Amino acid sequence: MAGNRSLRSQVEKLVGPTGNRGARVRLLDRSRSGGTCRVWIQIELPSGAFSIFFFRHADGTWHVFPPCQRRPEMGIGRMAA
């Protein structure tokens, strides 16, 4: 399971092994509101460089789409007990 959660495994799933291609972390940032972590990866290829943004979700996994914003919730769970 840890291999599926790592950023390296997600990059390699999208572009294949990056051994001698030179994948570099260009940005590591955490937002002030909500603590969303994002990473900018730049990958060098013979045809040129390209970039991918990854976002860390609450369950610890990395995805190329940002996590959903938490919305206000109402409930009676605490009062029912």
Strand partners, 52: 41
45 has a pLDDT exceeding 70? yes
Q: What pLDDT score was predicted for residue 61?
A: 86
Q: What pLDDT score was predicted for residue 1?
A: 45
Question: For the chain, where are the alpha helices, taking DSSP H only?
Answer: 2-5, 7-15, 77-80
Against a cut of 0.75, is the pTM above it? Answer: no
Q: What are the domain boundaries of the chain? A: 2-69
